[in-house]
Amino acid sequence: MTDSFSPDQARDALRQHFGFPAFRPGQDRAVAAVAAGRDTLVVLPTGGGKSLCYQVPALLLPGLTLVVSPLISLMKDQVDALEARGLPAAFINSTLTSGEVSDRLARAERGKLKMLYVAPERFDFGSAAERLKSIGVSLLAVDEAHCISEWGHDFRPSYLRVGQVRERLGAPPTIALTATATPEVRRDIVRQLGLERPEIVITGFDRRNLRYHVVRTRTDRDKDESLVRALREHEGQAIVYASTRRAVERVTQMLRRSRIGAIAYHAGLDDDHRHDVQEGFMREDTRAIVATNAFGMGIDKANIRLVVHYAMPGTLEAYYQEAGRAGRDGLSSDCVLLHAFQDRFTHEYFIKSAYPERTIVERVYGVLQRAADRAGIAPLTAAAIAVRSDGSVKEREAESALRLLSHAKAIAAEPVSMSSVWVRLLATPARIRAELGESDAAARGLLRELWRGAGKRLYDGIPVSPDMLPPGFGGMSGVRALLDELQDRQFVVWNGTGGGIRLMDHAAPLTRFRIEWDIIERRRRAELSKLDAMQMYAYTKRCRRAFVLRYFGDPAARSACDGCDICLGTHTADAEVADVPAVRRTRRARGGPEPVPKPSVRPAAVPPVPRPTVRHADRAPARSDAADLPDLGPGEIALIGALRHLRTELARQERVPSYCIFADRTLVEMAIRRPDSFDALASVHGVGPTKLDRYGERFLAVIRLATDTAPASQPRS
């Protein structure tokens, strides 16, 4: 196939429209592949210039380039930047009216646009695909392509439609772009999009100008002190990532009290406020922005000198992407993870809630069956289901179970309808005769008609529709007014019908419906495995840069570097809180080599935690943290955390101190020995016959799951 444009034309467009003298490594290969009409998968690190790989070809190809982008703010920023350069681009998403959408499609038809950005969640590909096909889509660009893979760290079901859209558009040449994709995710992107013999461009994951540090902490106070110290010892702007809105607000206030300029950014802010915060940070009106991971994707700010994670992310992909927002200008910058062992528990909770175990789904379905009326309607919310399960199901687990049941078509949401109502009689006939007098003739008449139609079934509750009642009650609005009066006087209870969960066949067992239990279990294990890898990064005693590169399958991984706390010799033991080496003006910033920073260590803000003291199993053990045991590997540490989590749940259910379930020493021995049977568990210190019978199966299940999900590189005891 003849190239649709030459390399010289591409370089000219790059210089003319974007002001760059030459393509970066990898960009030239990607642009050449697009010019040749080949499908292309591009993996460039954050700041590597992925967008130019399709923006330059878009200006040279004859038709329209359609760009699938995951975030409204991201596509708007990119379109604004293109329009500022005088380049014809537009976007279509849910912020536009139908008239504005039609206008932009008309501009594309007239050849007035070269790039059209669309959001897969909002754009109706089904109705517009033929129109776009008639316009002539020369190139389909899929940004943040890892979102299409169920094994990616930011999987979005709406992205699964992109492969179908590609076919409707006539399978135009496609370029998929991402900064974070393991070999497995790369294969999945190719499969999901149906790319044919794609050119795969990977320039490597190594950002040599970034230095990686992990600061071990135990409490929020430790984290606060380490964060303030890092910000005071670094120059330039910083991003601080926190896991929740509440944490964002608290950390922001803490920094302000420490006289460090900080602003908060999270999804709970209204659009105008979020925009003002983002613009203020871009203008450098403030020193630091404290944000959830909602901030940063597509933010084109090159001079971030410091990125601090206040809590551990759930995956190494997410950490690499967020930390990679530092130093996009190529100058030295630092990425700091403030890590506490308990950070893991939040992620475990969300993972297990998102992929509930079969027993959880069965319990939720049983609650719905017991609560359903004769019409198969269970007027319950996820919170109500959690209450009715006697604590065995959490609200978030109930929400996930309801999604699974809905997908399996076992249930459906039932909207509230006031055109018919459900009524249950409370009062006896004798009480009705005694308390409803002549002034209550209309109410007595309504009860008489309901009794005539239902008899004693009225005490169980019946649905009432307009055609069941004779005229004279003023329609359903009049009936509802009478029912309100009767309910206030405790003669009846009533509510609108629907408004809950409809069981498609409330007598059918759950096994009648198809639920992919194997897939759910596989997804849960995959997410837990990613969490294990993230925590192993935090606890590794070897080069952190090499750990990251090996995770992404980068052959550039070496045994040591000059850009992480391990190799620089600045990492400290768990019982200490380290300073992060400050980034000063260096010779490298002026073009010369960068000096290696000297270690900087201070005593911990809290006393060191002692090694555990072995005591009798029936007595409270001394306080200890598994993370403080240097002879335990990351796998054992993670398993101890999971066992402790289970112990806490059991202690809460039985209303006893945790040590009454098992002592710390017992959990440590379980993690090291990993018993796989009742006999093996019985030989663990502190596990007697009674506890074996009462708790054995639950603890063995946790141990089996940890063993099954352990990464292949992790030795198992």
Per-residue pLDDT tens for 209-243?
999 999 999 899 999 999 999 999 888 899 999 98
- For 477, the token pair is 């609005």
SS3 309: strand
Q: Is 54 helix (H, G, I), strand (E, B) or coil?
A: helix
Worst-scoring range by mean pLDDT, 55-69, 524-538, 559-573, 611-625? 611-625
Backbone angles phi, psi at 601, to 5 degrees: -130, 135
What confidence score (pLDDT) does residue 633 get? 77
Could you give phi then psi for residue 628, rounded to 5 degrees? -90, 5
What was the pLDDT predicted at 1?
42
Fold (CATH) for 210-340+540-590: Rossmann fold (3.40.50)
Distances (CA, A) of 178 to 3, 65, 545: 25, 18, 20
* pLDDT tens-digit map of 282-331: 778 889 999 988 675 546 677 899 999 999 999 998 899 899 889 887 88
Integer CA distances (angstroms), 43 to 183, 533, 660, 700, in order: 11, 21, 52, 41
Share of the chain above pLDDT 90, in %: 31
What share of the chain in percent tops pLDDT 70?
A: 85
Q: Walk across the sheet containing 411-414 and list its strands.
A: 377-378, 500-503, 411-414
Of 33-42, 123-132, 413-422, 592-601, the range with the highest mean pLDDT is: 33-42
Write down the domain spans for the chain.
Answer: 7-202, 210-340+540-590, 347-415+503-524, 417-497, 626-709
User: Can you tell me the distance from the alpha carbon of 40 to that of 179, in angstroms, rounded to the nearest whole number?
Assistant: 14
Beta bridge partners of 423: 462, 494
Task: Sort strands 64-68 and 137-142 into parallel, antiparallel or unpaired.
Answer: parallel
Q: What is the largest CA-CA distance in the chain?
A: 100
pTM to 2 decimals? 0.60
pLDDT at residue number 631: 54
**Nearest 10 degrees: Cα torsion 43, 211, 594, 570:** -150
Which stretch of 274-283, 485-494, 612-621 has the lowest confidence by average pLDDT? Answer: 612-621
Averaged pLDDT, 145-173: 82
* Angstrom distance (rounded) from CA 378 to CA 367: 9
Strands of the sheet with 417-425, listed across from one edge: 462-464, 417-425, 492-497
The predicted pLDDT at position 152 comes to 66
Taking residues 558-564, report their average pLDDT: 89
Residue 553, pLDDT score: 83
HEC per residue, 686-714: CCCHHHHHHHHHHHHHHHHHHHHHCCCCC
Q: Which CATH architecture has domain 626-709?
A: Orthogonal Bundle (1.10)
Residue 547, Cβ neighbours under 10 Å: how many? Answer: 19
Confidence (pLDDT) at 714: 47
Distance CA 445, CA 465 (A): 16
Q: What pLDDT score was predicted for residue 418?
A: 55
Q: Which residue has the tokens 């080599």?
A: 593
Give me the pLDDT at residue 577, please. 39
pLDDT of residue 175: 96
Residue 614 above 80 pLDDT? no
What is the Cα 400 distance to its own chain's centre? Answer: 14
Q: What is the pLDDT at residue 300?
A: 61
Specify the amino acid at residue 677: S
Section 582-591 average pLDDT: 36
Average pLDDT, whole number, for the chain? 81
| Count of CA atoms in the C-beta half-sphere (13 A) of 704 | 11
Indicate whether 350 pLDDT > 90: no
- Assess whether pLDDT exceeds 50 at residue 598: no
Orientation angle between helical segments 183-193 and 161-168, nearest 10 degrees: 40
Beta bridge partners of 178: 43
Tens of pLDDT, residue by residue over 364-399, are 999 999 988 877 888 888 888 888 888 889 888 899
Q: What is the pLDDT of residues 9-26, one digit of tens each?
A: 999 999 888 878 889 889
Quick check: do 210-340+540-590 and 626-709 share a fold? no
Q: Tell me: the pLDDT tens digits for 109-145?
A: 898 999 999 988 765 444 667 778 888 899 999 998 9
* CA pair distance 377, 398, nearest whole angstrom: 17
Report helix, strand or coil for 134: helix
Which residues are CB-neighbours of 158 under 8 A, at least 6 positions away?
A: 120, 121
The pairing of strands 411-414 and 500-503 is antiparallel
Residue 182: per-residue pLDDT: 82
Best CA proximity match to 425, nearest among 390, 384, 445, 455: 455
Q: Is 481 helix (H, G, I), strand (E, B) or coil?
A: helix
CATH of domain 7-202: 3.40.50.300
